[in-house]
Structure 1
Amino acid sequence: MALEAGLRAALRTLAATPHLLVALDFDGTLAPIVERAEDARALPASAAAVRVLAGLPSTTTALISGRALDSLRAVADSPSDTMLIGSHGAETWTGPDGAPLALTPHQAEVLARAVAVVEHVVAGHPGTRIEFKPAGVVLHTRTAADAVADAAVAAARAGLAALDGLRITDGKRVLEISVVEADKGQGLALLRQVSAATAVFFAGDDVTDEHAQRTLGAGDVGVRIGPGETAASFSVATPEAFTEVLEELAALRAAGAPR
C-alpha cells in the first residue's frame, strides 16, 4: 500500500524535528486485536521499525496503553529505554528512578468494592472476564455474545453507580474502571515534557486514544488505526497498514535525524 501524499509529506517534515517523540498504543496499533490479551504480539515489521527509531539519536520511543505496566512489558518486548504509560495514564515508567503507583486508603477501598461488582457481573454473564490492574479493574466482553456483553456492561454500570471516585470508560468490548483520574492525553503530555520533544508522533485505534490525539498541536502528527471519529490528521485501515507508516517514519528519521 502506498502512503497517501499528505501523510508522507507530514512524516517528512516531522522527521526533521530536533527531538522526536514516537508514542504508540499497543493493542490494535502495533499488535492486531486478539481474543486473549496475553496472546497479543506486535507485528514483526512494526516491532523492527520501533527498534530502529529507538536506536536513533534525538529520538524517544514510548508505549501508551490501557494495559497495566506488567502486562504491557510481558507482551510488548520493547527496547529497554522505551518509556511506558500503562492503565490509561495511571501508571508510568520513564526510567529506573520513577516512583511506583501508590493508592490512598480510600482509593484502595473503592477499588476493592469495584472489583467485587465486576466479579459478580462476570459470574453471571458467560464469556465475560475480569482483568485486575493496580489502579482499576476491567470488564472484558470480547468473547461474549453481543446481547450478553450489553447486559454485562449495563449490570456493571448499575452496580458501580453507588461508588464515588471512579473513572469509568467504554472501549472496544471493554469497560475500564479506575480509581485514578488519568487518561492517555495526560500520559502523552508527561512524555512530551520528560523527553523534551520538539514534535510528537502518536498513533492509536480506540476511543481512549482520542484523549492523546486531542493534545497534538502544530508540528505533531496523529494517526488513527481503523474506523471511527477521530481528532487525528490521518487514518489507516489496519495494524498491517500502520506498519508501512512506521517503516516510512523510521527510514526518514534515519536519513535526517539531528546528530
Structure 2
Amino acid sequence: MTGDTCGFDGVPGSLIAALRHLATTPQLTVALDFDGVLAPLVDRPGEARGDDRSLRAISDLVALSGTTVVLVSGRSLDSLRAVSGSPDKVLLVGSHGAEYDLGEGNAGISITNEEKRALTELRRAMHDVLERHPNARLEDKPAGCALHTRGLAPDAAHAAQRDASRTVGQRVPGVTHRAGKDVLEFSVVSATKGDAMQRLRLHTSATAMLYAGDDVTDEDAFAALEIGDVSVKVGEGATVADHRVHGTVEVSQMLRVLAADRRNHLLGA
C-alpha cells in the first residue's frame, strides 16, 4: 500500500480512482467487516452499532442493479444479526467464513462427531481459563470460543491470552486459533475470510469485488482478491491491502463515493 494525499474527506485520491473504476463493473460485490469498519470498536461486543452514514450508503448500494453487499465477520451469525440490524438485502457471513446467510437462511456449520467432541472439550478448557481471569470475557460460537480482553490492562490481557493458548494447546491440540484486536479465537472448523471471498465471488457472479477490513483476520480476505478487485485496510497495521483509510468515518465516505459513482454509471451519466 502506498501513501497518498487525501482526495475526498479523508479518502485517498488513489482509492477514489479505484472506486470509480470499480463502479463500472457489471456485477459488483461489496464485502465489509463489521467491527472497526462499519462500527467503532467498543469494550463490550454486544454494544457495537454501525455508523448511520455507512448504513445509509449500504442501503443506497443494495438498491442498485448488479450490486451486492455482504457483511463478513468473525462474529457468529446470531451476533452479527443482532448488532448490525440485518440490513435489508444485505448478505451475512459469520464465524470467519464458517456460517452463511445468503438470503436463504443459515447455511449452518457442518461438524463431524470428532469435531463435536473437540468443541465440548474446548469450551470446558476456556471456561477454566475464564475462572482464572474473571475480567476477561468468553464468547461461545457455533464452532468454537473467543476470549475477549478489550478494556483489560495490557499485562492482564497478555496473561489471559497466554493461559488460553497454553491450556487449549494441552487439552485440545489441533484446533484453529486466530489472534485479533483484543481477542483470541479458537475453532474446531478451519475456515477463513479468504474462503468466504471465494464462495461469495461464485455465489454473486461478481465481476469485481471490494473488501474492507481492519484486523489481522482480514488479511486472508485481502489475499484472496483478484486483479480488478479493491482491498482497503481500515486503521493502522501491516497489510497486503492496496489502500488504507483511517477509520469508520472514512469508510462511510468511501461507501458514499462508491454508491454515487455506481448510480451515475448505471444511469449513463
TM-score normalized by structure 1? 0.96
- Larger deviation: 40-49 or 77-86? 77-86
| Correspondence for 1:145 | 153
Residue 217 of structure 1 deviates from its aligned partner by 1.7
| Correspondence for 1:159 | 167
Contact 1:31–1:41 at 8 Å: present in 2 too?
yes
Q: Distance in 2 between matches of 1:100 and 1:3?
A: 37
Residue 79 of structure 1 deviates from its aligned partner by 2.7
Q: Deviations over 1:139-170 (max 9, x none)?
A: 11112221111111111111111323410010
Structure 1 residue 71 corresponds to structure 2 residue 79: yes
| Correspondence for 1:27 | 35
Contact 2:48–2:83 at 8 Å: present in 1 too?
yes
Structure 1 residue 85 corresponds to structure 2 residue 93: yes
Q: Distance in 1 between matches of 2:257 and 2:160?
A: 42
Sort the Cα spacing of 1:258 and 1:69 in 2 relative to 1 into closer, same or farther, 3 A: farther
Q: Distance in 2 between matches of 1:7 and 1:243?
A: 13
Q: Distance in 1 between matches of 2:225 and 2:81?
A: 26
| Correspondence for 2:250 | 241
Contact 2:99–2:107 at 8 Å: present in 1 too?
no
Structure 1 residue 176 corresponds to structure 2 residue 185: yes
Q: Distance in 2 between matches of 1:102 and 1:185?
A: 19
Q: Deviations over 1:100-132 (max 9, x none)?
A: 223221111101111111111111114201000
TM-score normalized by structure 2? 0.93
Q: Distance in 2 between matches of 1:239 and 1:61?
A: 17
Return the letter of the residue paired with 2:162.
Answer: A
- Larger deviation: 84-93 or 194-203? 84-93
Sort the Cα spacing of 1:258 and 1:112 in 2 relative to 1 into closer, same or farther, 3 A: farther
Identity %: 44
Q: Distance in 1 between matches of 2:65 and 2:267?
A: 7
Counterparts of 1:242-257 in structure 2 under 5 Å?
242-257=251-266
Q: Distance in 2 between matches of 1:132 and 1:63?
A: 20
| Correspondence for 1:15 | 23
Structure 1 residue 201 corresponds to structure 2 residue 201: no
Structure 1 residue 210 corresponds to structure 2 residue 219: yes
Q: Distance in 1 between matches of 2:36 and 2:92?
A: 17
Residue 99 of structure 1 deviates from its aligned partner by 3.4
Q: Distance in 1 between matches of 2:134 and 2:245?
A: 34
- For the aligned residues, what is the CA RMSD? 1.4
Unpaired stretches in structure 2, ≥5 consecutive residues: 1-8
Sort the Cα spacing of 1:43 and 1:97 in 2 relative to 1 into closer, same or farther, 3 A: closer
Q: Distance in 2 between matches of 1:148 and 1:85?
A: 31
| Correspondence for 2:50 | 42
Residue 2 of structure 1 deviates from its aligned partner by 4.5
Contact 1:127–1:145 at 8 Å: present in 2 too?
no
- How many residue pairs get aligned? The number is 259
Contact 2:73–2:94 at 8 Å: present in 1 too?
yes
Unpaired stretches in structure 1, ≥5 consecutive residues: none
Return the letter of the residue paired with 1:116.
Answer: R
